[in-house]
Amino acid sequence: MPQRKYRQPPEKPLHKEMAKFVEAHLGKGIFAPFTSTDFAAWRAWCELLRLYGSTRDTKAIDALRATLECAQRKECIWQVFVQTIPGALDWDFVKVLWPRIVGPILPTMRPRELEQPEFAEVMYAVERGEGNTIYRKHGAGWK
């Protein structure tokens, strides 16, 4: 008698796991300002972070940059993108990856596109500890 094959449950999409991670560190409602285009860009961003994690290829960084440019240029939107980096990779990657991704974009940005002129340069990922207190900030002030 042939052995019965058991089906593996389908893998949960990465963006759903990352949404939980981001909300745990930035709070509920962080996705409220997102448009459908922002969500599409963010889902692609999650998968591209996974790709970068396995390849460390500079082309993945170029793809991450292009994906980020598809989203609104607002601090509240980009904060979610930054916060996803440690969820998909590790906390140390924020300081390494974010400048490489956003550096070439900054000269192309017009001042009125920014809520605060240097927000993209000083963004960081927030690691929360017990009692919802900020445990550590990763990547702040890389300028």
Domain ranges (residues) in the chain: 14-21+34-138
Q: Which of 11-15, 82-86, 134-138 has the lowest mean pLDDT?
A: 134-138
What's the whole-number average pLDDT of the chain?
A: 80
| pLDDT per residue as tens digits for the range 55-81 | 999 999 999 999 999 999 888 899 999
Provide the pLDDT for residue 1: 57
pTM: 0.76
Higher pLDDT: 54 or 7? It is: 54
Helices then strands, each counted (H, E), the chain: 5, 2
Residue at 73: amino acid letter: R
Give the tokens for residue 5. 């094959």
Summarised one tens digit per residue, pLDDT across range 103-126 is 887 766 655 555 554 555 556 666
Residues 6 or more apart whose CB falls under 8 angstroms from that of 65 comprise: 101, 102, 104, 105
